[in-house]
Chain A
Amino acid sequence: MSADGALTASARVEALPRIAEAPRRAPVDWGAVAVHALLLLCVAVIAFPLYYAFVISTQTVEEVIARPPMLSPSGHMFENYVEAWTRAHMARLLWNSAIVAVVSAVGKIAISVLSAFAIVYFDFRGKAVAFWMIFVTLMLPVEVRIMSTYEVIGDLGWLNSYAGLTVPLMASATATFLFRQFYLTVPNELVEAAQLDGVGPLRFLWSFLLPLSWANIAALFVVLFIYGWNQYLWPLMITNTEAMRVVVIGLQDLIPRTGTHIPEWNVMMAAAMMALLPPVAVILFMQRWFVKGLIESEK
């Protein structure tokens, strides 16, 4: 953004004659100040819940339940996180979540790259049917076929397995559409030249198309990683052993239900912070890819 982007167009027009009179001082743009104030307010409102969760995760139980509520961090962060780590078997939970997120994202991308390649670069009988079948998956989210999908996984013997946790997540119309869209923008001359040189289809995919697709792949990976990490219903259904739990589900055991537990919200929040850190960090550090992936995969 250019430096004068801060000035609104109208302010710039008004400012011109004044600059001629007093070149040193630009007038304070109160409009821009008000806009910044309102934007900062929005940011504060959106950030507050996370800040508060962090604050709670650093307090003792007495501080958590103190009235008036303490809104600044205390010094007990370390013991709360250690307690949450051991009590929730956090290492195992995070490991399982990482596997689900990475394997389902990589698998989905691999499957989609191949099928989009077939659909764009080949003419084959049944292409329309294949395309239609992939498209229809958009209309059948897991949530609407809970019981029968559970039975299918049971019939396959995949309950409590990584295969059951990841493979069913791999069919995705959006990823296929994204790659199809991208391949269609690749100029025909490239494939024509490759064919003249005697390059076969798989070689073309590997040495020409994939290197061009890295930006799309990275963007999609970020979005799919977060999607996989935050899966809930699926892992809830098909796993019932401690060893196979993912972190979003494992957290629930720590919720102090009113009246029956010591209100150890500090331990709860420490565990929640650990569970939400990986996907949030991925968004923050790979923001450019993330935004690209979000916007393009929804086209």
Chain B
Amino acid sequence: MKRAVFKNRGLPYLLVLPQIVVTLVFFFWPAFESLRLSFFRTSPFGDKTSFVGLENFVNLLSSAEYYQSIANTFVFAFGVTALAVGLGLFVAALATQKVRGLAAYRTAVLWPYGIAPPIAGIIFLFIFHPSYGVLPYWLGFVTSYEFNWLLKGWVAMALVIIATAWTHVGYNIAFFLAGLLAIPTSVLEAASVDGAGALRRFRSIVLPLLSPITFYLVVVNLIFSFFGSFGVIHAVTQGGPGNATEIMVFKVYKDGFIGLNLGSSAAQSVLLMFVVIVLTALQFRFVEKKVIYS
């Protein structure tokens, strides 16, 4: 910690004030409001509010639809994470060879991170389009199965997973490459002098050294797909077909904004906050260890 500090009574409060005000007004107030509303039932027109205790939570936890949205969220989040981190790790494994032009490859895979997931979703919507898209057309040569996301829930899920993973894979690659550069070449050279082949070097040296980064990326990708994925669902599938792609965050919005069931929406918010707290705690256990190169 710094030893030399300025002495001033009022100034430090003035300096933190803007951030504290924004935090209080837009984070704490709404969070407590959600907590409060989750114990009430509000009539659809918002004119009557009555205390119902835990009824909103009981209703949620006994509704099959809610469990469906939890299951969808897990499929979606783990699908995106597996695809985006897996592909990132694959590229990292290739880059272990210290190939020429690594920086150019990084540029070539990084830019999709700038594309908003809803826009990526629109592009994949066309690629998956049952009548005009290339993907069903190409798959038509292999199988007569109808890859129509409007009819088949799992195809819709695959669509949003691939679109989301596409925007995020470059991020993972950037982290893996940064981690790779931090591994001393001497370690790898020593291993190859001892006769370890490329695959062996990757498995026994690079992978263990990258595992903290991998763990970190898994958590970050999960958080991102849990909470950052409202847009792609809203823009592309609207939770459909049926409820096949209705993830938890989308359901909070749908029940609150469209269904006007504020109590249930608030209760869902509270449960989601609990999930974020667990995931953030996990993320910070990693930061504590300070394993990312610094």
The chain A residues found within 8 Å of chain B, CB to CB, are 1, 5-6, 8-10, 13, 31-32, 35-36, 38-39, 42-43, 46-47, 49-50, 52-53, 56, 64-65, 67-69, 71, 110-112, 114-115, 117-124, 126-127, 130, 133-134, 136-141, 143-152, 156, 167-168, 170-171, 176, 183-184, 188, 191-192, 195, 200-202, 204, 226, 229-230, 232-233, 236-237, 248, 251-252, 255, 258, 263, 265, 268-269, 272, 275-276, 279-284, 287, 290-291, 294-295, 298-299
Q: Are A13 and B193 in contact (CB under 8 A)?
A: yes
Closest to B265 in A: A147
Interface SS of chain B: helix, strand, loop or mixed?
A: helix
Closest to A290 in B: B110
Chain-A contact segment, one of B50-58, B59-67, B74-82, B129-137: B129-137
Contact of B192 with A by CB under 8 A: yes
Q: Are B111 and A284 in contact (CB under 8 A)?
A: yes
Per the bound structure, the CA–CA distance linking A252 and B130 in Å amounts to 19
Q: A139-B277, A248-B119 are in contact. Are A115 and B18 (CB under 8 A)?
A: yes
Q: Are B120 and A280 in contact (CB under 8 A)?
A: no
10 A-B pairs within 8 Å (CB atoms) are namely: A9-B192, A13-B192, A114-B15, A137-B23, A139-B276, A140-B27, A144-B269, A146-B256, A248-B116, A283-B111
Per the bound structure, the CA–CA distance linking A102 and B171 in Å amounts to 22
Interface size class of B (residues with CB under 8 A): 35 or more
CB neighbours of A283 from chain B (8 A): 110-111, 113-114
Q: A5-B100, A184-B2, A258-B130 are in contact. Are A148 and B34 (CB under 8 A)?
A: yes
Per the bound structure, the CA–CA distance linking A50 and B109 in Å amounts to 12
Report B121-147 CB contacts with A as 1/0, cut-off 8 Å. Answer: 011111101111110010000000000
Q: Are B100 and A6 in contact (CB under 8 A)?
A: yes
Q: Are B100 and A275 in contact (CB under 8 A)?
A: no
Per the bound structure, the CA–CA distance linking A269 and B115 in Å amounts to 13
Listed from nearest, the 10 A-B pairs whose CB atoms lie closest are A232-B231, A148-B33, A118-B15, A279-B114, A230-B116, A122-B12, A6-B100, A10-B192, A148-B30, A171-B22
Q: Are B102 and A143 in contact (CB under 8 A)?
A: no
Report B214-226 CB contacts with A as 1/0, cut-off 8 Å. Answer: 0010001000000
Q: Are B20 and A47 in contact (CB under 8 A)?
A: no
CB neighbours of B273 from chain A (8 A): 139-140, 144-145
